[in-house]
């Protein structure tokens, strides 16, 4: 651990990190990838070009420096990072590489401010964080048991979930025919495919969109039509993704060509039933714990667009296991609502389930302008829709950033305590829910 003087030295770098943090992160990724191009095989190409990953890394470093004397405050964020690292099969050796190039970037950008004492303090601080992550990741790997690394799956079924065919579900069966491990509803897998014209393999994380099964998994993918880079999951971890400040930055020498929606469009257009892909073991901290179910606790599931996937896994699990707790399903979409017929059919057969569907531009993309129609639709929800009279109600929200912020704001104004609300963060580096929302 760090002594008092070392913690002070780390905290004293916060102003410089606030000013130069994203430059440090960009230098870090550039030099590390230049010397270790094989690490591109762990990275999300989209996040290299959008500039989100330097921001995410900067925020993680700043959070760690700010809480260096109260590390427990970082546990939820580090848990998300550890889960993502485990889903990508990140190993302790990777931390050696990251530490080397991160500290080198600190020195390159901060210059004389990076004195030997400051460098030593940050070296120790980095390894405190690294050991927290590797320890948690080792625990996750042990829980994965026999499934280590990548496993081949066959696309057993492709199903269009909307009229236009822009949201497609893939039912996946293991090629080895062995039973699949269960998972917590809400978790995700990492998918790896080879895309023609791309030098490195492409990785994306997709939430599982059905109840756990030992025979198959299902993911649901939205075609990216240019408004949102690969509308899947993000990667807000140090060693998960690389990034640059912009796609035109001539200083970024080894980044592969940028293609909008390269994975989502390839999956929908070029992968067919019978084809194979590779997955890692399910992971993720956003999940419904069905082992501790209390049938008197209402469950409120709020989603938008394709972000319905992890909440549908929760809903299907509740229905399949005949859990009798009250459920309120609230779903926004810009056009067709995926799985609406399926959800409405379940609601007809379960009197303790209520549904609400409405249109919202915010369900489609983080970058669309705010529109009052969302507020009006959400305000139309009754106290009964949200189970506001029940102090034990649990809320799970998944959608684009603005959607989640508006939903959270409405719940806060309605008196819902933050500890009863969970959020799934699909985007990288752009949304960090505060304790007070």
pLDDT tens digit at each of 437 positions of the chain: 889 999 999 999 999 999 998 899 889 999 999 999 999 888 776 766 666 777 788 888 989 999 998 888 888 889 999 999 999 999 999 999 999 999 999 999 989 999 999 999 999 999 999 999 999 999 999 999 999 999 999 999 999 999 888 999 999 999 999 999 999 999 999 999 998 888 889 999 999 999 999 999 999 999 986 554 433 453 333 333 322 333 233 333 344 445 668 899 999 999 999 999 999 999 999 999 887 656 789 999 999 989 999 999 999 999 999 888 999 999 998 878 999 999 999 999 998 999 999 877 655 553 334 444 555 677 788 999 999 999 999 999 999 888 888 888 889 999 999 999 999 876 554 445 444 55
Global confidence as pTM? 0.88
CB 221 within 8 A of CB 170: yes
409, HSE (Cβ side, Cα atoms, 13 Å) = 10
The predicted pLDDT at position 269 comes to 94
110, HSE (Cβ side, Cα atoms, 13 Å) = 25
The predicted pLDDT at position 259 comes to 60
> Is 247 within a domain?
no
Q: What angle do CA 101, 87, 220 make, to 5 degrees?
A: 125
> Is 433 within a domain?
no
For 167, the domain range is 151-239+252-279
Which domain-ending residue is among 121, 144, 167? 144
The predicted pLDDT at position 199 comes to 85
Alpha helices in 251-380 (DSSP H): 262-270, 308-320, 340-349, 372-379
Same domain for 196 and 313, yes or no, is: no
The catalytic position among 6, 22, 126, 137 is: 137
Same domain for 84 and 175, yes or no, is: no
Q: 243 Cβ partners below 8 Å, 6+ apart?
A: 25, 26, 29, 47, 48, 49, 50, 51, 52, 53, 54, 55
Same domain for 190 and 133, yes or no, is: no
The predicted pLDDT at position 380 comes to 80
For residue 229, what is the domain's CATH number? 2.40.30.10
Same domain for 8 and 138, yes or no, is: yes
> Quick check: is 95 catalytic?
yes
The predicted pLDDT at position 71 comes to 86
CB 402 within 8 A of CB 370: yes
Q: How far is CA 314 from CA 178, 294, 325, 381, 418, in A?
A: 24, 15, 12, 21, 20
> Is 93 within a domain?
yes
Give the whole-angstrom CA distance, residue 423 versus residue 77.
Answer: 12
Q: Which two tokens stand for residue 349?
A: 């057969």
Which domain-ending residue is among 129, 144, 159? 144
The predicted pLDDT at position 430 comes to 47
Report the domain count for the chain. Answer: 3
Q: 318 Cβ partners below 8 Å, 6+ apart?
A: 288, 290, 299, 325, 327
What are the phi and psi torsion angles at 394 (to 5°)? -110, 140
The predicted pLDDT at position 363 comes to 53
Q: 407 Cβ partners below 8 Å, 6+ apart?
A: 302, 378, 397, 399
The predicted pLDDT at position 44 comes to 76
DSSP codes, 191-216 = EEE--TT-SS-EEEEEEB-S---SS-
Alpha helices in 246-335 (DSSP H): 262-270, 308-320
Give, as one character, the DSSP assignment of residue 91: -
For residue 132, what is the domain's CATH number? 1.10.490.10
> Is 408 within a domain?
yes
Q: What angle do CA 204, 286, 294 make, to 5 degrees?
A: 150
The predicted pLDDT at position 236 comes to 32
Q: Which two tokens stand for residue 195?
A: 């895309």
The predicted pLDDT at position 427 comes to 59
Same domain for 90 and 164, yes or no, is: no
> Is 435 within a domain?
no
For tokens 């707790």, the residue is 325
Same domain for 123 and 202, yes or no, is: no
> Is 436 within a domain?
no
CB 232 within 8 A of CB 318: no
Same domain for 176 and 307, yes or no, is: no
SS3 content of the chain, % helix, strand, coil (to 5): 45, 15, 40
What are the phi and psi torsion angles at 198 (to 5°)? -100, 130
Same domain for 318 and 414, yes or no, is: yes
> Is 432 within a domain?
no
Which domain-ending residue is among 106, 124, 144? 144
Same domain for 8 and 140, yes or no, is: yes
For residue 304, what is the domain's CATH number? 3.40.50.80
CB 281 within 8 A of CB 93: no
Same domain for 62 and 166, yes or no, is: no
Same domain for 29 and 72, yes or no, is: yes
Same domain for 294 and 397, yes or no, is: yes
> Is 31 within a domain?
yes
The catalytic position among 95, 126, 231, 395 is: 95
């Amino acid at each position: 651990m760090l002594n008092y003087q070392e913690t002070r030295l780390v905290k004293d770098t916060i102003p410089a990190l606030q000013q130069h943090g994203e430059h440090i992160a960009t230098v870090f990724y550039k030099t590390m990838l230049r010397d270790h191009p094989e690490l591109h095989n762990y990275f999300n190409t989209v996040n290299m070009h959008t500039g989100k990953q330097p921001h995410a890394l900067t925020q993680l470093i700043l959070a760690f420096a700010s809480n260096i004397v109260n590390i427990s405050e970082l546990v939820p964020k580090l848990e998300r990072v550890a889960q993502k690292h485990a889903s990508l099969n990140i190993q302790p050796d990777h931390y050696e590489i990251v530490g080397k190039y991160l500290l080198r970037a600190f020195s390159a950008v901060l210059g004389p401010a990076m004195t030997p004492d400051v460098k030593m303090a940050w070296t120790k601080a980095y390894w405190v964080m690294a050991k927290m992550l590797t320890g948690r990741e080792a625990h996750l790997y042990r829980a994965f048991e026999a499934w280590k690394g990548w496993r081949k799956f066959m696309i057993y079924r492709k199903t269009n979930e909307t009229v236009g065919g822009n949201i497609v579900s893939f039912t996946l069966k293991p090629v080895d025919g062995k039973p699949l491990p269960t998972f917590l509803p809400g978790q995700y897998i990492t998918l790896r495919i080879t895309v023609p014209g791309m030098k490195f393999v492409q990785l994306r994380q997709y939430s599982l969109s059905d109840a756990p099964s030992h025979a198959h998994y299902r993911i649901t993918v939205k075609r990216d039509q240019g408004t949102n880079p690969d509308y899947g999951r993000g990667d807000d971890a140090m060693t998960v993704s690389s990034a640059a400040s912009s796609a035109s930055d001539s200083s970024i020498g080894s980044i592969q060509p940028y293609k909008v929606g390269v994975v989502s469009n390839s999956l929908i257009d070029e992968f067919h039933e019978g084809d194979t892909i590779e997955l890692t073991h399910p992971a993720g901290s956003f999940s419904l714990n069905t082992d501790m179910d209390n049938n008197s606790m209402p469950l409120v599931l709020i989603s938008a667009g394709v972000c319905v996937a992890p909440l549908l896994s929760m809903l299907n699990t509740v229905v399949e296991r005949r859990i009798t707790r009250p459920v309120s399903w609230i779903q926004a979409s810009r056009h067709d609502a995926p799985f609406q017929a399926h959800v409405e059919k379940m609601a007809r057969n379960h009197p303790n389930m209520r549904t609400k569907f409405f249109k919202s531009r915010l369900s489609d993309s983080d970058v669309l302008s705010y529109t009052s129609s969302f507020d009006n639709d959400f305000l139309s929800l009754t106290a009964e829709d949200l189970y506001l009279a029940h102090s034990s109600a649990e809320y799970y929200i998944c959608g684009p950033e603005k959607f989640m912020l508006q939903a959270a704001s409405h719940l806060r104004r309605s008196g819902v305590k933050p500890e009863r609300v969970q959020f799934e963060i699909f985007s990288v580096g752009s949304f960090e829910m505060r304790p007070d929302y």
